[in-house]
Amino acid sequence: MGRKVNWGIIAAGGIARRRTLPAMKDVPNAVITGIMDKNQNVLDEISEEYKITDTYTEEQELLNNPQIEAVYVASPVCFHKKQALEVLHAGKSLLLEKPLAMNEEDAREIVQTALKKGQTAGVAMVMKHHPAHRKMKKLIESGVIGDIVSCRAQLNCWFPDMEGNWRQKKATAGGGALVDMGSHCIDILKYLLDDHVEWVFGDIGTRTFSYEVDDSADCILHMKKGATCYIDVHFNIPDEAAKGMLEIYGTKGSLLASGTIGQDGQGEVYLNQCATEGYDSNQKRKEDGLGQKVDYERENIYGRQIEEFSKAIEEGLTVSTSFEDAFETVKIIDALYKSSKEKKAVYL
């Protein structure tokens, strides 16, 4: 077996504990070497569960450990800039949780530092690691659904007012549903379409709850190659009501996925290939359900993310989401907020 990259973790809360750490344990080319969190109880529980003795409450203590080569940062968004810069200045590789930063200005500083330092660095846009999405990308590239004209990505959940929750405050989260879940939707559409955004229009607000960040974001992204993308992300639609739809429509058919935009690496994808010769004035439709089911091998998307990033470090490969790519997503999010505020389209 090949060498294992020694990983340090900064912030071992929700996503790290629920998804990344359990997956990392089983990744052949990675090992968890040290963990830092501000909460001593979290550290105690994790050191017991994973038998890790190198635990720290200060970032610099973890970064001073010469064994640690790569750091996964999964802290609340307001700490991303400070911690990302510290990791980069310490000369370690960096996998930073999404979104890259609170805003365009902070994101630019991280990107510029990463470019100057030159080590392997990227953002954890985990949807790109879903095997269903990779298959959809190949199908789109093969041309089976023709030229892409319209798309939709949806991610919703029920997230009521919670006293003191960092995600519900502008100063700690940067924004609400759009920042938290919209970043995934924007990223996966850019990836599937291999395209960039030309202009956006957003209708974003807090319609149901009383926190200061948005609980609703309904957005239009007009892509440079011409397709229109719809993104709907909400904190005020119950989890069971939303199926995480991902719909790609082209001139020869469609790819319709549900439940793939999520954390469990599951969901279904259907392919529809349609005859487009002539014009049917009767507008007759074939009643054959959702289409042809697209099979794919299920895998742990968080494990795949760590495995690919570790391989990129070892072999000097490019990472799946570069900081420049994630920077573009931050700019799109900022443009959407501006558009919603000014009630007009904003060009990137």
| Residues forming the site for ligand NAD (CB under 6 A) | 10-16, 37-39, 42, 74-77, 79, 97-98, 124, 126, 180, 263
37 vs 232 by CB, closer to ligand NAD = 37
8 vs 202 by CB, closer to ligand NAD = 8
The secondary structure of 224-283, three-state, reads CCCCEEEEEEECECCHHHCCCEEEEEECCEEEEEECCCCCCCCCEEEEEECCCCCCCCCC
Q: Which residues contact 243 (CB under 8 A, 6 or more apart)?
A: 154, 258, 259
User: DSSP H helical segments within the chain, as ranges?
Assistant: 14-15, 21-25, 40-50, 59-63, 80-89, 104-117, 131-142, 170-173, 177, 183-193, 301-315, 323-342
**CB-side neighbour CA atoms (13 Å) of 331:** 15
121 vs 124 by CB, closer to ligand NAD = 124
38 vs 196 by CB, closer to ligand NAD = 38
130 vs 135 by CB, closer to ligand NAD = 130
